[in-house]
A = this chain, B = another copy of it.
């Protein structure tokens, strides 16, 4: 009798508990509770707790298809490996900002990790009034340290090219290429446009100067292999409290342009700010300026201390890098904003605004900002100008660029 190779099988709450015990993460006779808590489209997430000991773990299992579309759209299980490896890699540089990984099984696409349920998902928290005062300081440091460490400037090109091989992730990249960079810019069947906003969507789809700049940003995303990105760093990929911040879900990790992660964080924070009444907005606008300021400080220090590039000390080269990263980040923020208003996956805090007129105003304002970030990204010299543009838009003014 031959034993067949193990093959993929979806976990249930019962088999998830069995796995946790096999891994000796709990004692054999512990009373465990298991709930499937996933709200993503791509994975199942089991939380297993031992109430008596007030301890818990998370078991995440990738599904072999995109759940929101049913079993019709297969998706590589290798993304579970990418996610675990990215988290382990980030942990080398910023262990304080990622969950600890206990176990990975590539065949079953399973990752067992630290339970973060003492924290909340930032998108949800921001929608309910939390401000997470340390959020942007932590994320700015996370971004600078992970992105610098995996760039040519810290590793040298040869070592970087080797690491990039491990994060070959074309299927997940394709999702971003389509759902962030392409479909929202065209009248595509996967878009989700509120009927009353259709004229604005149609303006976008016919705006040749916007489409040209959007095309360039898409090419930058596809071709510029600068550093190991998280790849999906919206506020739904961050757990936080007032003291603590943890980045999760880097299954989209790949070698891409440094500005992309920064742009996604800025865009989603800005959308949460737009969804708020004016008096709650400043704490979030602070995060937009502060994440960049902390990124610049940390990245610049690393640049001066740990740079292996012979040209590193050339006058103006660090400034050029920061300027080009910021320009990319502004453009990518614009792409992200547009797709969160017109694409498939919307920003929940904006969708949660019940009053139609208010929600539509927020969406119109977001669309105006998104367009300007894409088209005029080279005119933005600092995050204060992003905030200024937001202030102009919400007061009904046109966006004016100082350098014009």
Chain B residues with Cβ below 8 Å from A185 are 311
Shortest beta-carbon distance from A224 to chain B in Å: 5
Distance between Cα atoms of A171 and B161 in the complex (Å): 10
A212 within 8 A of B: yes
Shortest beta-carbon distance from A98 to chain B in Å: 25
B158 in contact with A171 (CB, 8 Å): yes
Distance between Cα atoms of A162 and B226 in the complex (Å): 18
B165 in contact with A168 (CB, 8 Å): yes
Chain B residues with Cβ below 8 Å from A171 are 158
Residue among A161, A212, A226, A311 with the most chain B CB within 10 A?
A311
A223 within 8 A of B: yes
A310 within 8 A of B: yes
Shortest beta-carbon distance from A197 to chain B in Å: 22
A29 within 8 A of B: no
| Cβ contacts A205-241/B at 8 Å (1 or 0 each) | 0001001101110110011111000000000000000
A6 within 8 A of B: no
Chain B residues with Cβ below 8 Å from A310 are 182, 186
A170 in contact with B186 (CB, 8 Å): no
B215 in contact with A314 (CB, 8 Å): yes
Contact of A223 among B208, B226, B309 (CB under 8 A): B226
Which of A61-69, A315-323, A332-340, A358-366 lies at the binding interface?
A315-323
Distance between Cα atoms of A218 and B308 in the complex (Å): 14
> Given A212-B314, A224-B224, A311-B211 in contact, is the A162-B157 Cβ separation under 8 Å?
no
A158 in contact with B186 (CB, 8 Å): no
Distance between Cα atoms of A219 and B317 in the complex (Å): 11
Contact of A152 among B223, B314, B317 (CB under 8 A): B223
Distance between Cα atoms of A311 and B220 in the complex (Å): 14
| Cβ contacts A177-218/B at 8 Å (1 or 0 each) | 100001001100000000000000000000010011011101
- Closest B residue to A256 by CB, please name it: B223
A173 in contact with B186 (CB, 8 Å): no
B157 in contact with A161 (CB, 8 Å): no
The range of chain A's interface size is 35 or more
A174 within 8 A of B: yes
A222 in contact with B174 (CB, 8 Å): no
Chain B residues with Cβ below 8 Å from A311 are 182, 185, 211-212, 214-215, 218
Distance between Cα atoms of A186 and B314 in the complex (Å): 11
Distance between Cα atoms of A158 and B170 in the complex (Å): 5
Chain B residues with Cβ below 8 Å from A224 are 223-225
Distance between Cα atoms of A215 and B212 in the complex (Å): 27
A173 in contact with B152 (CB, 8 Å): no
A211 in contact with B170 (CB, 8 Å): no
Chain B residues with Cβ below 8 Å from A165 are 165, 168
Shortest beta-carbon distance from A139 to chain B in Å: 24
Distance between Cα atoms of A177 and B317 in the complex (Å): 17
Shortest beta-carbon distance from A86 to chain B in Å: 17
> Given A186-B310, A310-B186, A311-B218 in contact, is the A316-B157 Cβ separation under 8 Å?
no
Q: Which residues of A contact B (CB under 8 A)?
A: 152, 157-158, 161-162, 165, 168, 170-171, 173-174, 177, 182, 185-186, 208, 211-212, 214-216, 218-219, 222-226, 309-311, 314-317, 320
- 27 pairs from A and B in contact (CB 8 Å cutoff): A152-B222, A152-B223, A157-B170, A157-B173, A157-B174, A158-B171, A158-B174, A161-B168, A161-B173, A165-B165, A182-B310, A182-B311, A208-B314, A208-B315, A208-B316, A211-B314, A212-B314, A212-B317, A212-B320, A215-B309, A215-B314, A215-B317, A215-B320, A216-B320, A218-B311, A223-B224, A223-B226
A-B interface, 9 closest residue pairs, ranked by CB to CB distance from nearest: A215-B311, A161-B170, A158-B170, A211-B314, A157-B222, A158-B174, A208-B315, A212-B316, A223-B225
